[in-house]
Amino acid sequence: MPATTPGMICGHHHLYSSLARGMPAPPVAPTDFLSILQQVWWRLDVALDLEMIYWSAKLGAMEALMSGTTGIIDHHESPSAIEGSLDVIAQACQEVGVRVICSYGVTDRHGPDGAKRGLQENERFIRAGGHGMVGVHAAFTCSDELLQQSADLAHDLGVGVHIHVAEGANDSDAGRRLEHLAQDDWLLVHCVHLDRQLKGTIAHNPRSNMNNGVGYAFPARATNKVILGTDGIGADMLEEMRLAYVAGRAHDLTITPLIAQDWIKNSYHFMPECKSDSVTWNYDSVESPWHTAFTPGIRALEITSSSGEKLLTDGRPVRVDLDETRAKAAESARKLFALL
Ligand SMILES: [Zn+2]
């Protein structure tokens, strides 16, 4: 008898990176976290236009649904196409049937005008009724003034700030710079090199942290609430839970799958509506963390949203055509790669 659970939530995603798989190798091979950003992600994000963002988000949302994920907390950056970018992501997710909390990651990397337009995109989207948080890239690419403006805007809008914190050693000063700003409704992403406690929820991204060689975050030691994210590498939360468990075990043999399962469940605080979505899996012990920790390849078969609408059937999305979406996304990826 296949098991049924609520919808999963990806606690930190970058839907704009769905097209990045298979991108051309960077001109200079990265040797540390900062050069990964410079050689890969900052070359990609500046090339994005609104059409690419749409197909990237649609592909990412579709693959999330096929993994049993009905909610995404997204963090977006597209410095050449800021205005309207959060609407495009929200629209793509809506078309697939996935809930999303959008944020635009402000930064001083593109001068004061880029920073201002990033703040405006967050404000415009949220004031128009969009489900969002104020996004900030990371303290190390922002002036103290921009960090303050972002915190003030979030306070005015009644939402939290969604920010990368001390992901690499180059941002180890983030704790000192954010201590007087952070609030309980902030989402602090990574916190690998954080040297003090900040208010907020920590989003742990074990696969991304390993992929970038930034170190282990020891989330079980934090007194903050912890949730799990993928940092843009898909939205398969059972896969991320297995990784969270085994990455934890590599550093501490007292870590159990129950801890990783708690990190999955903590995300309902941000998107409680996903609790009312219903996912039927191809595996009957999906609710037992000691089973799922050692069972790769668990897939969603059927999803019914809280409204009663079928969103996934036989593992395929209902609202959008799987093959057509993959083909359109691949075409968009080719256009993107030509610009890199
Ligand atoms: Zn991230």
Distance in Å, CA 134 to ligand 1 centroid:
14
Distance in Å, CA 2 to ligand 1 centroid:
33
Using a pLDDT cut of 90, give the percent of the chain over it: 99
Structure token digits, residue 124: 């415009």
CA dist 106 and 112 (Å) reads 10
Distance in Å, CA 123 to ligand 1 centroid:
20
CA dist 264 and 239 (Å) reads 11
Distance in Å, CA 3 to ligand 1 centroid:
31
pTM of the model: 0.98
Residue segments in the chain with a per-residue pLDDT below the cut of 70? 1
- Pinpoint the alpha helices (H) of the chain: 33-36, 42-47, 50-66, 85-96, 111-127, 144-157, 174-178, 206-212, 237-251, 257-265, 289-292, 322-338
| Per-residue pLDDT reduced to its tens digit, 271-330 | 999 999 999 999 999 999 999 999 999 999 999 999 999 999 999 999 999 999 999 999
Q: What is the CATH number of the domain that holds 290?
A: 3.20.20.140
Residue with tokens 């078309």: 95
Distance in Å, CA 238 to ligand 1 centroid:
19
Q: Which domain holds residue 16?
A: 4-338
Closest CA to 17 of 47, 38, 44: 44
Domain count, the chain: 1
Distance in Å, CA 112 to ligand 1 centroid:
22
| Per-residue pLDDT reduced to its tens digit, 82-110 | 999 999 999 999 999 999 999 999 999 99
Distance in Å, CA 208 to ligand 1 centroid:
8
